[in-house]
A and B are shown apart, each in its own frame.
Chain A
């Protein structure tokens, strides 16, 4: 990965392309690459859908190698949803194939002067940018089917559906999985709208004739990969819980904790929780001949996904994630797995973020558009309104904040314009700090359960004392930013949290591949550097301390059953970015 492909969609006479050396971005990946390029090249006050914004695509540091769990791809830009910097990542095959082609990043910039729609085919010899207006307003599943007729099955696709073309702020970018289904999405922040603004419908990565990237120290690398995989397999979360039930294993536990936001954050317990739990979902998937265990990309050891078939045993969608089951389920008062699975498929097909879409529908329910628990109504809103780009669909596809304004809803769960995920911050106050202060807007993956204890980011915090929420969140955000930069799947967090030898194996894996010695301090320094750049970008884009806040209702409306409000003070939140 020693080169960067720069495509100027607005060049006179049609899109132009140039290949540059990776330079300062060599030996970086994922969020580090996207955020550094965006911070350096995009004017923070530009319009997110204008020619000055850039869409940066970067695989992880170990993508395209034999390293397990290395297939995340990051997409960065100025977000049309938040107005701040954005990095959104996904699984699927794109990262591995793009990395084998040797690209550390692809930068889409400018904007075409005409209304033509483009596709970009990249193989080892050349990059072909061509007009294909026959793809206009196609949704992801039929789009990929059509592209397969031309490009075949031994490629990876990154595409946008109709929502991206319509530049909806909730639009996602789909990455095809090993079965070539467009089911893995860079979902958050409206990155699909930016690709739509560049008028790029599809990027096809073809690594025919390319080999896996080779490590500098093959023996050490092989040993490190073995130890790393063993560590993942032996851990109860990555080796058992996630493969058996997927991320939706969390529904029962969050519900039991009274932290499962229900009916647009009105209560923390959902009566129908057990009907849509990961346990119920896995049983149903197996019963219908689907799969409860499935990987989103080749080289995945954890296999947290699955295949969800309909009542007739036909593929309906990939296994919906916990956040999706929540956003379209409990958040909307819906306790029917088939409805949720259909909504998951519609989101993937139209190309919208499942969290933003589900939360927007729930807010619309609160605004009286349809009733909570209305399964058919929810499907109708997504399929017939968002999918067809009606005025109502454009409001919903604009995200939860816009929907709240349109229907005069007071309780709108967003931070920096981005919808909160599936954990109520009144019950788990530490995650509320991350929601409030993340550079990305409300994001459950911004401060993940990364090994801050092993990294010693910011020192020790007593786990059994209630103080230190801000310290914990800060440490987690720094460590998570660093993991995002490696492009490794975040679910490796659990074995490296609990098993120091697995964390060491990860460092050895990175070090032996690049021929450098990596330490925990290096990881922390990278995390801080990236977060600082992102924070500076947001400041220049107009964000201040007042934007690092949860919506006021979290402070004033007690959440049943524990009757808690969010109690972390504003002054404490303002301390989050104070680090040496």
Chain B
């Protein structure tokens, strides 16, 4: 996934439409970001998530499939995947928890930083699970994320009725389109190989 996009799409949607993005948020969205920084810097300084929220609410984090115990000592590189979750049940849920009492039980998949990373422009895939989809999802979608034409067509097709219902306005490369064209004409101008910077503006 490149860090720049072929075109820019902005959707203004009613806030209840957030649930249409839940499958996508679980699979992960690519965000343009400065990489080579710590996870906590990425989340707080770049993505605007309050540090207290990260500390209290995002209790389970995986960086490239490895469980994180210290968000300040874990570093994202270009192309990293960062998965975020609130507290989990079960023995394994507790085991995965950041710095938890049972962390030793998953020692083999605990994240350890091995080399210094270069700071630069890149992209990071963020996955959101459970409560965080509702709580953090709107913020990330509003910042804008990169999505392939194929994924966007799937998203718009699967949620067509809901998007039509909740659509306030649409623009492509700053040119306005009618909401009626969201599932029709708009799809015809997208090719699967294109990359799109998609921004969602939320309207109550």
Interface residues of A (CB under 8 A from B): 235-238, 240-242, 244-245, 247, 249-250, 252-254, 256-259, 274-275, 277-280, 283, 304, 322, 423, 426-431, 434, 444, 447-449, 452-453, 461-469, 472-473, 476, 491, 494, 497, 561-562, 564, 567
Contact = CB atoms under 8 A, between A and B. Distances in A.
A302 to B, nearest CB: 9
Contacts of B110: 464, 466
Contact of B89 (A423, A468, A491): A491
B104 A250 contact: no
A280 B133 CA distance: 12
Nearest to A467: B104
A449 B93 contact: yes
- Judged by DSSP, the binding face of A is helix
B99 A561 contact: no
A461 B104 contact: yes
A249 B104 CA distance: 22
Contact of B108 (A236, A427, A465, A491): A427
B94 interface: yes
A252 B60 CA distance: 12
Contact of B131 (A240, A250, A449, A564): A240
A497 B88 CA distance: 13
B107 interface: yes
Contacts of A249: 88-89, 93, 129-130
Residue of B92, B95, B109 with highest tally of chain A CB at under 10 A: B92
Contact of A257 (B69, B90, B106): B106
B153 to A, nearest CB: 18
Contacts of A250: 88-90, 92-93
Interface in B85-126: 85-96, 99-110
A452 B105 CA distance: 14
Given A253-B129, A257-B106, A279-B129, A274 B27 contact: yes
Contacts of A497: 94, 101
B114 to A, nearest CB: 15
Contacts of A258: 65, 109
A247 B88 CA distance: 9
B67 interface: yes
Contact of B86 (A241, A431, A448): A241
Interface in B148-199: none
How many residues of B sit at the interface, in one of the four size bands? 35 or more
A238 to B, nearest CB: 8
Contacts of B59: 236
Given A252-B85, A256-B65, A562-B65, 15 more contacts: A237-B93, A240-B131, A257-B96, A257-B109, A259-B109, A275-B23, A277-B129, A279-B129, A423-B92, A428-B95, A430-B105, A464-B110, A465-B107, A564-B108, A567-B108
B104 A254 contact: no
B65 A463 contact: no
A256 B85 CA distance: 11
Given A277-B26, A562-B108, A430 B87 contact: no
Contacts of A447: 91
B109 A444 contact: no
24 contacts: A237-B89, A241-B86, A244-B131, A247-B90, A250-B89, A253-B85, A256-B129, A257-B109, A274-B26, A279-B26, A279-B129, A279-B130, A423-B91, A427-B109, A428-B92, A428-B109, A449-B91, A461-B104, A464-B103, A464-B110, A467-B104, A562-B108, A564-B108, A564-B109
A329 B199 CA distance: 34
Given A256-B127, A278-B130, A464-B69, A444 B23 contact: no
Contacts of B22: 279-280, 283
B103 A561 contact: no
A236 B104 contact: no
B97 to A, nearest CB: 9
Contacts of A444: 90-92
A250 B101 CA distance: 19
Contacts of B65: 256-258, 561-562
B12 interface: no
Contact of B23 (A274, A423, A431, A466): A274
Contacts of A462: 104
B91 A252 contact: no
B80 interface: no
Given A249-B130, A250-B89, A253-B88, A472 B109 contact: no
Given A257-B67, A472-B102, A431 B109 contact: no
Contacts of A244: 130-131
Contacts of A466: 104, 107-108, 110
Contact of A431 (B26, B27, B85, B91): B91
B75 interface: no
Contacts of B87: 235-237, 241, 494
B83 interface: yes
Contact of B88 (A241, A280, A452): A241
B89 A247 contact: yes
Contacts of B105: 428-431, 469, 472-473
B19 interface: yes
Given A236-B87, A428-B92, A449-B94, A468 B130 contact: no
A465 B95 CA distance: 13
B131 A252 contact: no
Nearest to A426: B108
Contacts of A491: 89
B62 interface: yes
Contacts of B100: 463
A253 B60 contact: yes
A476 B91 contact: yes
A242 B89 CA distance: 7
